[in-house]
Structures are given as C-alpha cells and as structure tokens.
A and B are shown apart, each in its own frame.
Chain A
C-alpha cells in the first residue's frame, strides 16, 4: 500500500522570494500516523502543510514555483483536492487548521460556517445539516446553529474552524500552530478535542507547533526540517528530542522540561521594587470604548522604578484596557492615573490642547501631548504592525528620537545602538512589514525604547513567539528593570512571570488584586 502522503524531491519557492521555502524534500507519512514537524523559523513547515492541503499550484498564474512531486494517495496534492470536491461525497483527504482564529471564520452564523466546506464539496442539502450538528458536537461547541460567530472567543473560534475541517472527514489533519494565539485554557481545550477526535476517527496528524510540551504525548514521530531544505532528523519522539535537543532549542523550539532562559541570566528582582513611585492608580475604573460600562473598577496600585509588574487574568477581564490606561493612551472612565514628579520631570505647559474647559493637569499622562508621552511612557502593542509608521527599520527607530527634537548624529547614534542591541542591524534597510514575527516583535520593542521612557507597558509581548525570541525578550526586560525602568506587561505567560519574578496584578470579577511574591527566587 502506498503511503498517504509522499514527497519526492519536492520543493516550493513563493513569488517575490529569492530562496526556496522547501527544497529537495523526501518524506512519507502513512495513514493514521501522527507526526510533529519541527524546524527553525523559515524551514518551510507551513509551506509543507499548505502543499499537503493541495493549495500550492505552480503554473503561470500561481503563487509560486514547484519542483519534484507531492502526492496524496499517489495523486498530485492539488489535483487530489479538486477530485475530492468533484466526487461529491463531502470527504476530503486532508483538513487544514491555521494559527489565527480570527482569520478562518467564513460566515456569520456558527452552523453556516461549518456547512461551508460541505457545500463546496457538493454534498446534497438534506445531508449537510446532520453532519454540521455532529461536527459541532464533536468539538464541544454546543451552540445553536444561528449563534453569531462574532460572539465567539478565540478558543471557541478555533474549535469552530476545527469543526468545519472535521465535517469533511479528513484522513490527515494538518495543524499549523493551532494554539499559538490562544490563552492557556483555550489551548488545552483544543488539544483535548484534537486528541479525542484522532482517537475516534483514526485520522493521521501532521502538526507544526513550537510548544512541543503541550502536544508531545499525542504524536508518535518527529520530523525536523532543515532550513536549507531536506530532513534533518526523523524518528520516534523521545529519541529525536533527546538527540537533537540542543539544536532544536537553539532554533526556538519549546522542549518539555527544558528552561528557555539561559541559566544565570535572570537575577531576582526586589519584590514591588525599591525605586521611587512613578505612576499611581487612584480609584481607577476602565471600560471598553463605545460601550461605556466599566469592566474594572476601584483599582488602586502603583508602579515603581525598576519593578516588573505582570498584569494577569482571563480574556475580557480588562487587562489590555487597564494597560492602555497605565500607558496614558486612554483616559480612565473614572478615578485617575497620576504621574509622580519623578516621571513628570520638567514637563512644561505643552499639553494636549482641548477646545473646551481648562487644560488637563500636568500629572495626567492621558492629557500629555504625544511627544511628551513617549519620552516618559513607552507602549508595545500586541500586534507589532499596528505601531509601524516608516518605510525602513532604521527610519522606524528614528521616528521617536526625531519627535523628541533630536537631530542628525544624536538620532543616528540612538538608532545604531538599538539596531545592534536587538540584532536588527542586518535588516536596517528592510521594510518593517517584510520582517518575520520575531523580528517584528523585537523592532516594536526597540521603537518604544528609542525615546528612553522610564515606564514601558507591553501587551502580550511573548504571544506566539518561539523560544529564542522569548528568551531574548526576557533578557531585555530584565536588563531594563535593572537600569531603573518600570516594566508593566499584560500577559497570560506564566513562564514570563516566573522568569522576571515581580509583582502580579490579578484582574477578575471587575476588581484588581495585587500579589507580591513572598520570597523572590
């Protein structure tokens, strides 16, 4: 019997890319096998999944160039996809689940979204709805068919996308970092559903995932792709992870039982921080914009120089909203965020002008003019792209210093220093949007540091990052705290909190609870 998936000297080069994403790949996956695909960023793991899903079609109007063969049951993968549709039985050989839950919802109602794939596969209308209900039930989404997809959480959306894939009864599930953008609860729930469905259907699995620890019990074979093309290692999980552990860790793979931070790099931080108070929150209430109703009330807390504060709690509890208030980007609904003299410094009367009433007090960060804000409080958004405003990496770093009134050499000096510190010098002339996820994250942190703020507020800085970028970020933030910068991070990342060992602000039930570690490690 021929293997379900077989690559023979297969390669793919995307349009507008010089290098091949995959080259000279020889790989066979039998039916029912569960394979974990590992490899450094840029080794072509996602490209292989797209190829297996039958989505890569070369030719004059295609998205790239193919070489060699990629076969599903002996048929070229992109033809196999079309044959499955033409067969009209509503059975696909492969089913692909991508990383971003937001980007995979097709229709407005839960039931319609699951039915979408069945309709495309020309399943007769009367046979569609029973299969939709079964698929929703399989992934544990017990919602009415007409439930709006816009009201689902990230984890629910990802399970909905999985239901849409499972409804087509694929023999090989292709999962492309399915939990990278979910909170820990959502990630665990998805993993459990996948495990349960694999057991029930006997389908195979081809998984790309940095967080090996979460999935390691589910797979029985690991394939490591080499960055230049081809396979670096292939075999049972335990053996490959043991033999190739160091290499994989260096490539940014999260391995079970291995600390991501180089030992000795992180020093214990004085709990609460011994530094002076920079910002204090006094009876602050914050609410989502537009709706007006506060999600969080009565917040009293302070931010001290050189401290690390983790802002934690479930999604929707108001972490990000509170972070925006601390960062001086959105005024609180009530109460006030007060900047102390150590932070305000010699701020002159240049404040955000208001066409009505008196000017805001000088100690209200939300009332500061943007250029006054950035030299005092820096912000790093969850999506780095939101903060990009220039055409090259170097220009991007120069924006902040220029806004502060620096010119010529002073700007160049700061830019050069940051480029080196964050390993971006090779990319100085690249367009920020063309960088990889990890590079974009480093750049967005660098832009905030360019104006040398005394408070740095970050929203989910480690979200979706590989272990290498993660370790670099931890290192950088620790260094900042050591030099007196106060760091506040809204995060789900338990490892980050452990590594930096600061105070934790727990958000939940509309309240904030402060927790200072009993003893620093």
Chain B
C-alpha cells in the first residue's frame, strides 16, 4: 500500500533523484512484503477464517504490491508541468467543496440509516471522487493521491465532524486509487481504470471506517459495510468519476492536459 507514498519526491525525475528513487522503491518493496506477511499472519490467526484465507490474502497483497511497483517504476516518466500541478490542486479544492456539501448532507442521511448501519457504506463514494477524477484528468503518477489529499485538507480546513482525521483518510483513499492506476502501469485511463480506482479507494475506506469508527461490529457486519463501500466506490466514484471526466473533456477545459490533448479538435 505504501508504494506511492513518495509521490512528489520521485516524480520530478531529475538525474540526481534517480538514486533516491531506487532507494524509495526498495523501501516500498520491503514495506509491501512486511504488510503482506502481517496480513497473512493476522488473517490466519483467526480460526473463523478457514485455512486458505491467510495465504490468499498474503499472496494477493504481494502480487498487487509488486504490480504497483512495476507500474510506478515504468510510468511514462515525464515530469509534472506547472499546469498539471496547479490544475490538480484547484481540482482538489473544488472537490473539497463538494466533500463539504456532502459532509453537511451526511448527518441526516446517516441518522436515517440508523436502522441498518452497515448500509452507510453505500454512500461514501462521493468522498472517493478525488482519487478517480484526479488520476483520470491529470494522468500523472501521484495525481490521485495529490488531488484527494488537497480535497481532504480543504474539507478539514472548512471544518467537518471528523476534523484532521479527514486528511489521513484522504491520503489513504488516494493511495487506494493510485495503487490500481499503478497496477495498470499508468497506461489505462478509461472506464476500467476508473472502476478499478474506485474499488481501490472503496476497499481502503471500508477498512478504515471499520477500524476507526466501527471496530466493535461483528466480522459479518464489517464485511457488509466494506462491500457497501466498494459498491459505492464502483458506482459513484468509478463510473461517476469517469462520466465527469468525459464530460469535462468535451467542454475543452482539459486541452492543456494529457487527458485533453487528443480530444476532438475544434
């Protein structure tokens, strides 16, 4: 999961930074292995999970981590231009305002769902839009993380019921989307990539929410909540984000960016 945490440091790709890039990749690879082993042992330790669950989770983490690392290292390594960075940042700010609107709507919605709390997971997708839209619009390694983090910071700065924790959520949700885009080697930017990124972010938010806010739910309820979050990630963040990006491209606003460069000429 930590493969992309060096987002800004290693994207600028100057020659002196190459060694730092190798070190970062090595550290990230080690981190993937450690996380995989921990997950394997953690899942296997619970007798309810059956004999295959542990190895399955461990191996899947290893494979995904390795793929993400390959994607990160082989990404079309052109550095971020100023316009990419500024558009990503302002996009993050705009989505942060959308988050704020959603934060306000969340309390009544959340109260209305009190009869079956795990269903709340179905509505987290709006907060995952930053990773998907950011990744698809800017098309640079690290864009998903950057946009989602900026959006989360704005949401926290304006003020919401979760305070600064929002920023950590943003970072990890962005990473969830980023890993999927990295696994796709930063070469896929269509609906599949969008849905994948939505799933990645949905898994992260499912894990975070059940760890931080609902740690005392039974495993079954946690799984229902997580599944809801993933579905929300697919529909709202994934398909919704994809549709938004396409509509944006049609307005000509994305012309300065990689996602709008080959748009229909007008």
Contact = CB atoms under 8 A, between A and B. Distances in A.
A292 B256 CA distance: 41
Given A15-B255, A15-B256, A15-B261, A430 B81 contact: no
Given A61-B78, A61-B81, A433 B253 contact: yes
B266 A434 contact: yes
Interface in B224-261: 247, 250-253, 255-256, 258, 260-261
B264 interface: yes
Nearest to A62: B81
A410 interface: no
Contact of A16 (B81, B83, B252): B252
Interface string A349-368: 00000000000000000000
A14 B253 CA distance: 12
B251 A16 contact: no
B262 to A, nearest CB: 8
Interface in B169-201: none
A433 B252 contact: yes
Interface residues of B, number: 18
A430 B261 CA distance: 18
Which of A16, A61, A63 has the most chain B CB within a 10 Å cutoff? A16
A18 interface: yes
A219 to B, nearest CB: 31
A153 interface: no
Nearest to A433: B251
A14 B252 CA distance: 11
Interface string A49-76: 0000000000011010000000000000
Contacts, number: 40
A16 B253 contact: no
Nearest to B249: A16
B261 A16 contact: yes
Which of A15, A433, A434 has the most chain B CB within a 10 Å cutoff? A15
B81 to A, nearest CB: 7
A99 interface: no
Interface string A5-21: 00000000011111000
Contacts of A433: 250-253
Q: Chain B interface secondary structure, helix, strand, loop or mixed? A: loop
A16 B255 contact: yes
A63 B256 contact: yes
Nearest to B266: A434
A17 B260 CA distance: 11
A382 interface: no
Contacts of B81: 61
Interface string B89-103: 000000000000000
Contacts of A431: 250-252
Contacts of A391: 247, 250
Contacts of B112: none
A433 B250 CA distance: 8
Nearest to A15: B261
B56 interface: no
Contacts of B261: 15-16
Nearest to B248: A433
Given A61-B81, A63-B256, A16 B250 contact: no
Interface string B63-101: 000000000000000100101000000000000000000
A350 to B, nearest CB: 27
A18 B265 contact: yes
A303 to B, nearest CB: 34
Contacts of B262: 16
Nearest to B261: A15
B104 interface: no
Contacts of B9: none
B251 A14 contact: no
Contacts of A18: 265-266
Contacts of A16: 252, 255, 260-266
Given A61-B78, A63-B256, A17 B265 contact: yes
Given A16-B260, A17-B266, 14 more contacts: A16-B252, A16-B261, A16-B262, A16-B265, A16-B266, A61-B81, A391-B247, A391-B250, A430-B266, A431-B250, A431-B251, A431-B252, A434-B251, A434-B266
Q: Which 6 A-B pairs have the closest CB atoms?
A: A433-B251, A16-B255, A18-B265, A434-B252, A15-B261, A16-B263
10 contacts: A14-B255, A15-B255, A15-B260, A16-B266, A18-B266, A61-B81, A432-B251, A433-B250, A434-B252, A434-B266
